[in-house]
Structure 1
Amino acid sequence: MPEHSQPPLPYRDGLAPLRIRLPHDDSSVLVLDYLQREHPGDDWVTMLTGGEVVDEKARPWTVESRYAPGRFVHFHRVPAPETPVPFELDVLYDAEGIVVVDKPHFLATIPRGMHVTETATVRLRRLLGCEDLTPAHRLDRATAGVLIFTRSRELRRPYQELFSSRAVLKEYEAVAKFDPSLEFPRVVRSRILKDHGVMVAREEPGEPNSETRIELVERFGDTARYRLFPHTGRTHQLRIHLSSLGIPIKGDSYYPIYTRTAADDFDSPLQLLARAVEFDDPITGGRRRFVSRRTLAG
């Protein structure tokens, strides 16, 4: 879909409509035949009869519509029930076309997989009544802190390119084990790879593709608070780099050993926080800095 085009169906409860392209190599006679065979979990007869399924030009498909290879089917699906994340999404700033929020732990950034309604994007769209809200970057579900959204389609690219071009100073904070043999500040570089469908990423020999500057802020017993400045944004980079030093982040169920946790277990959040972002605004040219109000457990 072109970047500035409107979807054939409106958003519903903060969720964009889904889209299916009818394949050319299918022998179905009717669109209904294909939909019922390939997506049997939906009540297609009711949806088609009610005008809830449309093509790319917002024209309704019906139960009698002939199969048309290459055409699109747009529709809404009722999302499966999700365990509510019992923490609030706080708005830090809302002006000049951007919204900056303080994301809590356990809340995913965008709808994906089993997390659809319990995401920062959907919560914020519902809260502000703005269906065009789109994140300029992402934070892991396990990570809390500063997250920036744009309010209009026209602003998406300039702000997203800030992050993709590494023009943003990102400052994180973590609580992890203290090791007196390690010297700080230090820069960690390594090669991080992640296979599709595998929960954890891994380090392996080769040309480094990740870099993090780590500073020791304070020590309390056998634990310490660290300030992290990632120069790159590989999957789970900060968690892997601290774990590789033998000081895994408190509450990390992925590194060094992956441990499955229940979907409704909110007792031990990962002690990693996107403390601040700083950048030259691509629209106004002014310098901006946004800081999280959250705190980490010692």
Structure 2
Amino acid sequence: MPMPSKPPPPLPTRDGVSASFVWVPEGYWENALEFLCDYFPEVSLETWTERMQKREVCDSNGHFLSPISQIKRGMCLFYYREIPNEIKIPFCEHILFQDEHLLVVDKPHFLPVTPGGGYLRETLLVRLKRRTQIDHLTPLHRLDRETAGIMLFSKQVQSRGAYQVLFQHQQIDKTYHALAPHLDHVSFPLQKKSRLVEGPQFFVMQEVPGEANSETQIHLLERRGAFSMYELRPRTGKKHQLRVHLASLGAPIINDTFYPIALPHGSDDFEKPLKLLAKSIAFTDPITGESRHFESQLTL
């Protein structure tokens, strides 16, 4: 049976970090401490005990839990996630525009949009929550950690759905710039279509035979010696779509650590950012009816 949707968090946002949560599944645990240690084996018993002593673990009603608190299936437990020795990202985001409903940001390379894995405070969302003090700030679309450029955030719960519909119905015009090897024997503009699926290697996509589920329009902007600047206009939004499409044409984006060959995890080199930039985004505002166009101030 699927768990219900997340209830409102009883723990406040702390320094830009919202409380994480976990649903208690079917099973038996003597108490809350035993469950948390079993469910999160990478977090020590001492750490969970300390969090409980600091009143940082509670149920959905805001009742703080002690190590011996009883739990049962279907309970939702809230807690503050922590990452010791989190890697610092030495690049800053820049707010380009904001009104009552939207916040538009230039995201730097290497900065994740949302918390996950080894990143929490060093994410665009947490940085912006801390900076704006807007607890319910929410990203409206995805952007790879390695990619820089335009990101849109919703500031209002009430209007969020109207903007999300634009992305779901592909009513957003997105343009990317990429620096990659020059393709001598390709005529531009080019419509690249293929079927993308999850590859056998973690987080890597691959092209396979079958009906196309991804499409990118590729234009040649300028030649730079052995490389060229390409303008990419995705018609679909598959994960890593632009990176896979260029790599499959024989022009992997400069400094791509996934395509055509995935390098070991943790191989970031801050001196060698992926040469991919979300350059602009345009749409008709569903609230005001205005034509919106936002352009990154970054360049490759």
TM-score by length of 2: 0.91
Q: What residue number does 1:91 align with?
A: 95
Deviation at 1:264, TM superposition (A): 5.3
Per-residue deviation, residues 92-143 of structure 1 (Å, max 9, x unmatched): 0011221100001111111111122211111111111222111000100111
Q: What residue number does 1:286 align with?
A: 290
Query: 1:145 aligned to 2:161?
Result: no
Q: What residue number does 2:33 align with?
A: 32
Cα distance between partner residues in 2 of 1:232 and 1:38: 37
- Cα distance 1:277–1:246, how it changes in 2: closer, same or farther (>3 A)? same
Q: What residue number does 1:6 align with?
A: 8
Contact 2:196 2:238 (8 Å CA) reproduced: yes
* Unpaired stretches in structure 2, ≥5 consecutive residues: none
Aligned residue type for 1:187: Q
1:62 pairs, out of 66, 70, 79, with 66
Per-residue deviation, residues 202-224 of structure 1 (Å, max 9, x unmatched): 00110000000001111122211
1:187 pairs, out of 160, 173, 191, with 191
Query: 1:177 aligned to 2:189?
Result: no
Query: 1:19 aligned to 2:27?
Result: no
Cα distance between partner residues in 1 of 2:227 and 2:199: 32
- Secondary structure of the 2:59 match is coil
Q: What residue number does 1:41 align with?
A: 44
Aligned residue type for 2:31: L
Per-residue deviation, residues 25-46 of structure 1 (Å, max 9, x unmatched): 21x2322332344435253333
Q: What residue number does 1:258 align with?
A: 262
- Secondary structure of the 1:99 match is strand
- Cα distance 1:247–1:19, how it changes in 2: closer, same or farther (>3 A)? same
Q: Percent identity?
A: 39
Deviation at 1:161, TM superposition (A): 2.1
17-26 vs 161-170, which moves further: 17-26
TM-score by length of 1: 0.92
Deviation at 1:2, TM superposition (A): 5.3
Count how many residue pairs are aligned between Structure 1 and Structure 2. Answer: 294
Cα distance between partner residues in 2 of 1:249 and 1:45: 47
Per-residue deviation, residues 238-260 of structure 1 (Å, max 9, x unmatched): 11111111111111122112223
Aligned residue type for 1:242: L
What root-mean-square deviation, in Å, do the aligned CA atoms of Structure 1 and Structure 2 show?
Answer: 1.9
253-262 vs 10-19, which moves further: 253-262
